[in-house]
Amino acid sequence: MEMTDAQLWAAALAVLLPPVIAIVNQPRWSGAVKGLFMILVAAGDGMGTAYFNDSFTGKSVVTCMLTAVLVIGVAYHTLWRPSGIAPGIEAATSTGGRPSGPTSV
The pLDDT tens digits for 15-42 are 999 999 999 999 899 999 999 999 999 9
Task: Show the beta-strand stretches assigned E in 1-105.
Answer: none
Cβ contact 68:13 at 8 Å: yes
The neighbour count for residue 33, using CB atoms within 10 Å, is: 12
Q: What is the mean pLDDT of residues 74-91?
A: 96
**Confidence (pTM):** 0.85
Question: pLDDT-based confidence at 97, cuts 50/70/90?
Answer: low
Supply angle C-alpha 56, 13, 8, rounded to 5.
60
Q: Per-residue pLDDT averaged across 59-84, rounded?
A: 96
Residues 56 and 65: their CA atoms lie apart, in Å, by: 11
pLDDT over threshold 60, residue 101: no
